Amino acid sequence: MRADLIVGIQWGDEGKGKIVDMLAQQYDVVCRYQGGHNAGHTIWVDGVRYALHLIPSGVLNPKAINIIGNGVVVSPSDLIKEMSQFEGLEGRLFISDKAHLILSYHSMIDRAKEELKGNKAIGTTGKGIGPSYADKINRTGHRVGELLNPNSLVEKILEYFEFYSSIFEAMKIQTPSKEEILKEVSEYKKILAPYIVNTTNMVWDFLDSGKKVLLEGAQGTMLDIDHGTYPYVTSSNTISAGACSGLGLNPKQIGKVTGIVKAYCTRVGNGPFPTEDFGKDGQTMAEVGMEKGTTTGRVRRCGWFDAVLVKYAAKLNGCDDLSLMKLDVLDGFDTIKICVAYELDGKVIDYAPSDLENVKPIYKNVKGWSSVKGIREFDKLPIEAKEYINTIEQITGVKVGIVSTSPERDDTIIR
């Protein structure tokens, strides 16, 4: 068996949660492979809103096993808080013993660094994700499995504090005492110990036994540490290839790849955004689309669909098809724009350069429609909406296999 994969194609917030939740009803196992609790998936079921940050979206399928892979950085306090929303998770939720920990001092470092950078700040959530990944790469991090031996973990953390004492002093960060740390990690062990396992072997066993496995990431392709709009990116590989390292899979074990895109485009934080709309249209998208971050509540920047970047991202991820989300947010626009090329240094290009700071979007205008909200059959869509979807397919070279017409799980067109 191969594992199917869901991946964000823009700057995150594309609506992955709804699609994973919907598809998870057909899968035995749902795995998260990267990111931390800086990301969030919003899922609406029967009018009830669920906000997930670390737990895989398959948690709403009572029959599905949910796995947090080694590529994720885990804040135990936030995970425990999130777990409290659900009952009967033991035996249904597992955390990789090789995933890295986010502890309180990581958040302190994150916020201090952003403050020091001032107007040059990346615009992180301040949740400690970057510092935790940095420790991982520096080989000074601590893994989830170390929670099982609190005394040993505390000694390692104290050694870390001593080694980086000058940095903590420069940032005016007061590190916690030995007693405070021991109390903190001991509480984490008490609650999380039953969930900590070797998830790599677990996923292999599930695939070998013929179980249907679905993989999900956080954020989106344009926030990938290598292939996104660096340095305004996250600290992990958000693309489909990240699922291999983040769970312990090989490329041959990846099956169908579905890319998730919004019918328009949004971005949180700083960094280039070629199709950002600073006028009334962008404001309307933000208001109608309720564009506020699931994790932070920050208002998202909004703009038009960028087919150049989607084509780039679809190629990076090997997308077999696209899921077009929030088509209903564009209801009522007289004209809708699609970015089909860029102008860079006086030349027209149809590809994404490494630096997007100086590109200007070239748009194709298409006629808008009155309403698609709640429509569940492609044939019943307004002809203008069908043309919009067809145009996206033609420019990106990827079929749109799923169309979402409202936040509700069932308001979805499968083609």
Would you name the residues annotated as active-site residues?
13, 41
Give me the amino acid identity at 356: L
For residue 371, give the nearest of 381, 361, 360 by alpha carbon: 381
Q: State how far the Cα of 264 lies from the Cα of 258, in Å rounded to an integer.
A: 18
Q: Is the alpha carbon torsion for 40, 219, 184, 93 positive or negative?
A: positive
Residues in contact with 9: Cβ distance below 8 Å, sequence separation at least 6, in sequence order? 220, 221, 259, 260, 261, 310, 313, 314, 317, 319, 322
CA distances, 191 to each of 105, 194, 336, 354, 374 (Å):
21, 7, 50, 45, 41
Q: Which residue has the tokens 């510092």?
A: 131
Q: Which residue has the tokens 């079929």?
A: 399
Q: State how far the Cα of 34 lies from the Cα of 217, in Å rounded to an integer.
A: 6
Give me the amino acid identity at 198: N
Cβ-contact 213, 31 below 8 angstroms = yes
Cβ-contact 91, 70 below 8 angstroms = no
Residues in contact with 395: Cβ distance below 8 Å, sequence separation at least 6, in sequence order? 307, 311, 338, 340
CA distances, 378 to each of 193, 259, 293 (Å):
47, 19, 30
| CA geometry: angle 196, 198, 199, nearest 5 deg | 95
Q: Taking the CB of residue 382, how many other CB atoms lie within 10 A of it?
A: 16
Q: Which two tokens stand for residue 95?
A: 């955390």
Q: State how far the Cα of 270 lies from the Cα of 327, in Å rounded to an integer.
A: 25
What torsion, rounded to 10 degrees, do the Cα atoms 351, 354, 359, 361 define?
40
Q: Which two tokens stand for residue 81?
A: 């808080």
